[in-house]
């Protein structure tokens, strides 16, 4: 053929209008994403974390190896961080008051606070 004969066909006008309204409300700052604060950690989980970190000693555990260390120490107790409202294990560990993160991204370790 000749020329550029590209066409756009609108399949569902209602969906387009809803999308336009959503974009407009976000532009004006009316859209606020849903956020839910994680619940406080259960005492039994905090006790288990303390036992784990006492067993690990002063070296603590590398961030990427934490789940393996948990499963080695508590093989029949899953770490239910998502059920507690955390996106990942790092978010869970940030809420444990007696441990701290040492180091940067690649070599981050969690150790007991002295």
Domain locations in the chain as residue ranges? 43-112
pLDDT in tens, 58-106: 899 998 999 999 999 999 999 989 988 888 999 999 999 999 999 887 7
> What pTM did the predictor assign?
0.65
Whether 86 and 41 have beta carbons less than 8 Å apart is answered as no
Helix pair angle (43-56, 66-73), 10° resolution: 100
CATH of 43-112 among 3.30.420.610, 1.10.357.10, 3.30.1360.120, 3.40.250.10 = 3.30.420.610
Alpha carbon distance 54, 60 (integer Å): 9
């Amino acid at each position: 053929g000749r020329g550029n004969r590209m066409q756009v066909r609108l399949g569902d006008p209602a969906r387009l209008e809803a999308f336009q309204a959503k974009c407009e409300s976000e532009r004006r700052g009316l859209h606020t994403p849903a956020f839910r604060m994680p619940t406080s950690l259960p005492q039994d989980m905090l006790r288990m974390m303390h036992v784990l970190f006492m067993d690990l000693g002063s070296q603590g555990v590398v961030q990427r190896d934490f789940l393996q260390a948990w499963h080695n120490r508590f093989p029949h107790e899953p770490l239910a961080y998502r059920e507690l409202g955390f996106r990942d294990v790092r978010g869970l560990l940030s809420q444990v008051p007696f441990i701290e993160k040492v180091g940067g991204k690649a070599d981050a370790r969690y150790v007991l606070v002295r």
